[in-house]
Amino acid sequence: MRVFLAVHLPKLPLEVFRPRWSPEPLHGSVVLEKDKVVIADSVARAAGVRLGMKRGGVLTLSPDTEMHERDFARERAVQRDVGIALMRFSPEVTLLDEATMVVEVGASLRLFGGLLALCREAKALLATLGLTARISAAPTGQGAWLLARHAKGHGARRVLKLSTLEQRLASLPMVAVPEVRQFADWFSGLGCETIADIRRLPRAGLQRRCGEHLLDSLDRAFGTAPELFDWLELPPTFSRASKCRTGSNMRTAPCSARTGLSCSCADGCAQSSSRSPQYVCCWSMSGGATPSSPPPSTLPSANQRGVKSTS
């Protein structure tokens, strides 16, 4: 059974500058793109800052609010780092558009104690990295991507059967599908609002008017066409320094145990956190191996999970 986990990072443009565990600025912070607000934190929104507001408007309402210029390069780098960290669940990870990663976890469900437990592990991993995540699961990668981006409620974002997936996708707004957006006005003129409305239109007419990419995207999402992914590949070796944090609301295990990567400070980072809540860890991996599943300290054994030994 194929099961795809989609991880969407809705606050990535802001959290590349200010991770979740960093202190919140007194007057809030916003991210600007082309001199307009694309995301604002709760403090800035309480001060009246709204999406699409220009820089001058922010300065008028809350002159002390921190303003950052959107950094797409940093976002791509963080997304790749998250993809590498997600390899603790499966080596098949792909980076998709709109700050979303998809992981094929069908072969890992038993190891991690089922889908719900795996989703909890993934969310804890993202929280450790200081990122807000919306996680979905579906029998197709494109379907999981759509659910992670647009489905409301945790239960609505996790499905295992194609029949259930079809029901969940049908009710999503039509603009959830990227290939639909450039034709949104035309579809609205036909009275379409949801994906189900578009699928009721004649396929031949849709292909002539919108091209084959729209139908291909819908077919992949609903499981009627095969999916091909460009899986993330790791270099033979790499090393990177990153800031980590522990505290009363975080796990006390070393950062290497939480992320599945090798950390050169794994013997001392947990102790150093008692002196400083924020510290630098030097990550490394060599030999071309992918990060492993959780170590014994954080992953129950097969017997603890109720899995019978075959030896």
Report DSSP state, residue 53: -
pLDDT of 52 above 90: yes
- Mean pLDDT (whole number) for 149-174: 89
What is the sign of the dihedral through the CA atoms of 119, 124, 128 and 132? Answer: positive
Rounded CA Rg of the chain: 22
The pLDDT assigned to 25 comes to 87
Among 95-109, 225-239, 294-308, name the one with the lowest average pLDDT: 294-308
Indicate if the pLDDT at residue 238 is higher than 80: no
| Least confident among 149-163, 196-210, 268-282 | 268-282
The two tokens of residue 267 are 């013997």
Q: What is the DSSP letter of 2?
A: -
Own/partner long-range contacts of 286-289 (Cβ < 8 Å, ≥24 apart): 286/236, 286/237, 287/236, 287/237, 288/234, 288/236
Q: Where are the alpha helices (DSSP H) in the chain?
A: 12-15, 42-46, 55-61, 72-85, 115-128, 141-150, 162-170, 184-189, 195-199, 203-210, 212-222, 255-259, 269-272
Q: Which amino acid is at 35?
A: D
Q: Given a cut of 90, is residue 171 above it in pLDDT?
A: yes
Task: Please tell me the pTM assigned to this model.
Answer: 0.76
Phi, psi angle pair for 38, to nearest 5°: -110, -20
The whole-angstrom separation of Cα 145 and Cα 79 is: 15
> Is the CB of residue 99 less than 8 Å from the CB of residue 9?
yes
The pLDDT of residue 83: 94
pLDDT at residue 256, as a whole number: 45
Q: What's the pLDDT score for residue 74?
A: 95
Residue 286: pLDDT over 90:
no
pLDDT tens-digit readout, 84-143: 999 999 999 999 999 999 999 999 999 999 999 999 999 999 999 999 999 999 999 999
pLDDT at position 252 is 35
Share of the chain above pLDDT 90, in %: 66
- Taking residues 237-243, what's their average pLDDT? 62
What pLDDT score does 49 carry?
93
Residue 239 confidence class, pLDDT cut points 50, 70, 90: low
Collapsing DSSP to helix, strand or coil, 182 comes out as helix
pLDDT at 66: 93
pLDDT at 242 over 70: no
pLDDT at 303: 41
Question: In the structure, what pLDDT confidence band is assigned to residue 298 with cuts at 50, 70 and 90?
Answer: very low
End-to-end CA distance of the chain: 25
Q: For residue 59, what are the CA distances in angstroms to 39, 68, 99?
A: 15, 13, 28
Give me the domains of the chain, ranges plus CATH numbers.
Answer: 4-11+74-222 (3.30.70.270), 23-70 (3.40.1170.60), 238-283 (no CATH)
Please, which pLDDT band fits residue 243 given cuts at 50, 70 and 90? low
Q: How far is residue 50's CA from residue 307's CA, in Å, rounded to a whole number?
A: 51
Query: So what's the pLDDT on residue 240?
Result: 62
Distance CA 232, CA 211 (A): 29
Q: What is the pLDDT of residue 244?
A: 55
Distances (CA, A) of 184 to 135, 146, 211, 212, 307: 27, 17, 14, 16, 50
pLDDT band at 64 (very low <50, low <70, confident <90, very high): very high
Tokens of 37: 């607000």
